[in-house]
């Protein structure tokens, strides 16, 4: 569930209002960046936590690009990672339903539910942020990062 926080203030002067609007825009960019980088299965679905994102951004200087106080962007990162995790959990509910409806084989069901529980349900297990070689081999060649090729061999 998405919650919007509205703060009411009496006698807020135009200067303070402008500063708050500016900060809200910058924090919106932080949220957008988190969703762009980590909003996939390879992000939160791989076990990525907000502290890992925070530490990585502090190490590589990404945090300086936003121009907001540390507490504000760290809390925004935490909220965005939480939202991504909630969306992932909601997607799993639909996948569970689909497995129950479309699979008659008990062993197949057990395997699929196990993969869902272990976060292997989207095709492969990924490490934090980066994708593993198993994931790349399942990606069509046109989606490969430049310089990498997928070699497909016939399965016996």
pLDDT in tens, 69-99: 989 999 999 999 988 888 888 888 888 999 9
43, 80 in Cβ contact below 8 A?
no
* Prediction pTM value: 0.65
* pLDDT > 70 fraction of the chain, expressed in percent and rounded: 71
Tokens for 101, please give them. Answer: 């409806």
- Put residue 129 in one of left, alpha, beta given phi > 0 → left and psi -120 to 50 → alpha: left
The predicted-structure confidence for 132-147, as pLDDT tens digits, reads as follows 444 433 333 333 344 4
43, 135 in Cβ contact below 8 A?
no
Q: Which residue, 42, 39, 43, is CA-closest to 135?
A: 42
100, 80 in Cβ contact below 8 A?
no
CA 111 remoteness from chain centre: 25
Q: Which residue, 89, 70, 71, 81, is CA-closest to 48?
A: 81
Instruction: Give me the pLDDT at residue 3, please.
Output: 65
Q: What is the mean pLDDT of residues 108-119?
A: 86
Q: What is the mean pLDDT of residues 49-56?
A: 89
106, 113 in Cβ contact below 8 A?
no
Q: Which residue, 141, 98, 89, is CA-closest to 117?
A: 89
The mean predicted confidence, pLDDT, of the chain is 76
Evaluate if residue 106 carries a pLDDT over 80.
yes
Going by pLDDT thresholds of 50, 70 and 90, the confidence category of residue 38 is confident
Evaluate if residue 150 carries a pLDDT over 60.
no
45, 119 in Cβ contact below 8 A?
yes
6, 46 in Cβ contact below 8 A?
no
CA distance 74 to 53: 9
Going by pLDDT thresholds of 50, 70 and 90, the confidence category of residue 148 is very low
Going by pLDDT thresholds of 50, 70 and 90, the confidence category of residue 26 is very high
Instruction: Give me the pLDDT at residue 32, please.
Output: 92
């Amino acid at each position: 569930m998405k919650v919007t926080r509205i703060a009411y203030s009496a006698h807020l002067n135009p200067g303070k209002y402008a500063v708050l609007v500016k900060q809200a825009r910058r924090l919106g960019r932080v949220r957008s960046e988190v969703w762009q980088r980590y909003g996939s299965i390879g992000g939160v679905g791989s076990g990525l936590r907000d502290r890992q994102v925070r530490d990585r951004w502090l190490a590589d200087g990404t945090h300086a690009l936003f121009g907001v106080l540390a507490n504000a962007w760290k809390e925004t990162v935490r909220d965005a990672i939480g939202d991504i995790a909630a969306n992932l959990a909601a997607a799993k509910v639909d996948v569970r339903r689909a497995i129950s409806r479309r699979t008659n084989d008990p062993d197949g069901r057990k395997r699929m539910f196990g993969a869902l529980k272990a976060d292997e349900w989207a095709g492969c297990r990924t490490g934090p942020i980066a994708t593993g070689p198993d994931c790349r081999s399942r990606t069509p060649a046109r989606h490969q990062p430049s310089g990498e090729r997928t070699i497909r061999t016939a399965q016996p």
